[in-house]
Amino acid sequence: MARVNSSGWQPAAEGVDPRRVPQRLLFTGMSMPAIGLGTFGSDSVSGEAVAAAVGGAAAVGYRHFDCAAVYGNEHLIGPVLQQVMAGGVRREELWITSKLWNDRHAEAEVIPAFLQSLRALQMEYLDLYLVHWPFPNHHAPGVDVSSRDLHARPYSHLRFMQTWRQLEKLVDQGLVRHIGTSNMTIPKLELLLQEARIQPAANEMELHPHFQQPELFDYVRRHGIEPIGYSPIGSPARPDRDRTPEDSVDIEDPVVVEIARRHGVHPAVICVKWAVQRGQTPIPFSTNRRNYLANLQAVLSDPLSAAEMQAIAALDRNCRLIKGQVFLWKAGQDWRDLWDEAGVIVQS
């Protein structure tokens, strides 16, 4: 039966019991729900609509929310999270992530940037705080892929560690339970793991059937770092600036479509099932109640067979969608330089 409360928010009768949602055990001994709701409106969905989806998703059983300062909507999500807690969900049941944007990597900026997110989200602590991108290069929201920061610089481990030390302080101060990375590569993580006093608990990385990143996926898991998979459905509504002609569409892949037909669900739901069963934590975005409910239900029932998991494993095309061109630091450079594809950090 729905709990009665004065906040206007209440659990939905047809939702799922959050205690049934699989959890990922982190190196700290704490656990994180193995599926979360993404909150990046891709420049096309308003902050208000995203915040409403956070409330709706919590009502159907989501407890994990993937936020970021750059999404520009944390101040709208904060009041909704307050309503959710006033409606009876305890803070410890929630998993709230936020991320440090690229224009705040400087030593003196990290803690103030974190505090801004913390206040906007109306929280006393966060569960996870990530460095959103390893490059300090700033670009204005919504700019074209050809846009370049005049002060853009290549990756510097020294500078990254200065940022990381500030994140470690946030853990020491009890303001965040875990810290982590996003859009990292093996050579960059290798250096971080050598010097980190507090190791990353998670690495957020693009993961979907056409982009499985098997080497990085195995690497982070071997090092006790949870892979959080972004764009798990292949980001069909991503901004035009993040599209190139060679991109493929996961939810139109005939193998995914056929498996979806067999299970009687949308191909997007198959991408979510595959992600959780493979061992990553997907954070699908949706403001459509039917879709975010279907994504959550996907992880609780009707699992993919071993043969279906193998069929999807065979679909990997190394098709990176979020290439990061705006972080490039010199003219005529290839976006692959950002991803250290030869196994060494590209610095010139």
Residues near ligand NAP, by CB under 6 A: 38-40, 42, 66, 132, 182-183, 204, 230-238, 266, 268-269, 283-288, 291, 294-295, 322
Of the listed 62, 71, 129, 155, which one is catalytic?
A: 71
Minimum CB distance to ligand NAP smaller for 83 or for 182? 182
Name the minimum Å distance from CB 290 to ligand NAP: 8
DSSP secondary structure letters along 90-159 = -GGG-EEEEEE-GGG-SHHHHHHHHHHHHHHTT-S-EEEEEES-S------TT--TT---TT-----HHH
Minimum CB distance to ligand NAP smaller for 50 or for 87? 50
Distances (CA, A) of 221 to 26, 132, 138, 333: 11, 19, 30, 31
For 221, counting Cβ atoms within 10 Å of its Cβ (0-12 exposed, 13-18 middle, 19+ buried), the class is middle
Minimum CB distance to ligand NAP smaller for 87 or for 260? 260
Name the minimum Å distance from CB 284 to ligand NAP: 4
Name the minimum Å distance from CB 328 to ligand NAP: 16
Name the minimum Å distance from CB 14 to ligand NAP: 16
Minimum CB distance to ligand NAP smaller for 238 or for 323? 238
Is 71 a known active-site residue?
yes
Buried b (16+ CB within 10 A) or exposed e, 284-319: bbbbeeebbbbbbbbbbeeebeeebbebbeebeeeb
Minimum CB distance to ligand NAP smaller for 69 or for 87? 69
Residues 6+ apart with CB under 8 A from 106: 136, 162, 163
Name the minimum Å distance from CB 4 to ligand NAP: 30
Name the residues annotated as catalytic. Answer: 71
